[in-house]
Amino acid sequence: MPDLLTKQDLGQEYRSFFPITEQYIYLNHASVSPLSCLARDSMSTMLDGVARHGARKAEEWDRIQTSTRLAAAKLVNAEARQIAFVRNTSEALSIVANGIDWKLGDNVVSTAVEFPANVYPWARISAAYGVQLRLQPEIGGRIEVEDLLSLVDERTRVVTVSWVQFASGQRLDIRRIGQFCREREILFVVDAVQGLGAFELDVIRDYVDVFASAAHKFLLGPKGIALLYLSDWALERVRPTVIGWTAVENYRDYLTHDLNLRDGAVRFEGGSLNEVGICGLGAAIELLLRAGPQRIEQYLLALRLDLIERLSERGYRIVSPGQLGDASAIIVCCHPDFPADRVCSQLDSQNIITSARLGRLRIAPHFYNTVVDVEALIDALPA
């Protein structure tokens, strides 16, 4: 685990890339992250090119799509052909839920504390096809993997969970869940939005068949663009239900009108893409790769330990699971005398940005935050 000096070095090394640090201490990356100057400038350059040249820069936009797809694949140890660009996590999960050939009596296993993006797509399937949605409740602020997997039976088609829970900050053992599903040929779907960019995800090591992640949280990208990953095994089992004009092999032959789908996940892209968003996402991922996913993960775990120790000293009860294997970049706490909404507002008045969720204060730093930011937060807390 990095020591204090190492943590300071990493935060200071990348702090200048984030203009928000000039005015705020921003600790709300589980909600919406600020853009780096690299992502901002990359998007601005593309917009300026469109304003000045119209479609004459189309080849350049195609190159940016390719480079971003490659960078995203590198980040998670996937193949570029397994990555699709969609609008958001909800759309990505809906694509998967709607594309499975459901049978009456099938079931989906998940948790009862998922963010709605990973509930409504499956709830619609449940209502439309008579598929049972089985939800494991949170007990003592955490989901027990053993209890979750006990809900699986011979009719389970999908297990779908958030890698990191939005309200507690618990990071689930997706490798264990994924291996369990792989051995039983159950599709394992991960909402990765609260973990990707902060922690290392390896889709091979972790047995992930599908993941969905919007760009605007720990990936440090813009809103309106997201990643959808499908393994080759998943590509065989999920069919497109919305066919965009670029989904077929000969999409440039405008009057051919065949339904020979393109190879890989691009068949799920609904036509013209958010190219400006892809541009910003590409720059954001390149910065994460430059800093090093493993280094970022270690840094955030060490920063988390500092936060938890200092919060406890100030009388705040830590709700987030304390075991290292469950730890994430989200720290959730509460105080017996100060409601979370009030604490959040007081911090906000001092330009320290956090959030309140389910009556709890949620603190979510990233790798450009420093120990000095943590000290400022602690000093500003009511206690």
| Coil, strand or helix at 79 | coil
- pLDDT of amino acid 194: 98
- pLDDT of amino acid 177: 98
Sequence spans of domains, the chain: 4-34+292-380, 43-290
Residue 95 has pLDDT above 80, yes or no: yes
Taking residues 121-150, what's their average pLDDT? 95
Same CATH topology for 4-34+292-380 and 43-290?
Answer: no
Q: Quote the percentage of the chain above a pLDDT of 90.
A: 88
- pLDDT of amino acid 8: 53
Q: Which CATH architecture has domain 4-34+292-380?
A: Alpha-Beta Complex (3.90)
- pLDDT of amino acid 256: 86
Q: Quote the percentage of the chain above a pLDDT of 70.
A: 98
Q: pLDDT, tens digit, for every residue of 269-310?
A: 988 999 999 999 999 999 999 999 999 999 999 999 999 999
Terminal-residue alpha carbon distance, the chain: 29
Residue 322 has pLDDT above 90, yes or no: no
How far apart are alpha carbons 229 and 264 in whole angstroms?
10
DSSP code of residue 6? H
The maximal CA–CA distance of the chain, rounded, in angstroms, is 69
Q: pLDDT, tens digit, for every residue of 148-198?
A: 999 999 999 999 999 999 999 999 999 999 999 999 999 999 999 999 999
- pLDDT of amino acid 187: 98
Q: Among 56-60, 99-103, 126-130, whose mean pLDDT is lowest? A: 56-60
The owner of tokens 């996402």 is 281
- pLDDT of amino acid 5: 42
What DSSP line would sit under 184-209, residue for residue?
TT-EEEEE-TTTBTTB---TTTTT-S
- pLDDT of amino acid 141: 83
Q: Which CATH number fits domain 43-290: 3.40.50.300, 3.40.640.10, 3.40.190.10, 3.30.70.60?
A: 3.40.640.10
How far apart are alpha carbons 297 and 290 in whole angstroms?
13
- pLDDT of amino acid 170: 96
Q: pLDDT, tens digit, for every residue of 3-23?
A: 544 555 788 899 999 999 999
Taking residues 246-252, what's their average pLDDT? 91
- pLDDT of amino acid 3: 52
The owner of tokens 């640090």 is 21
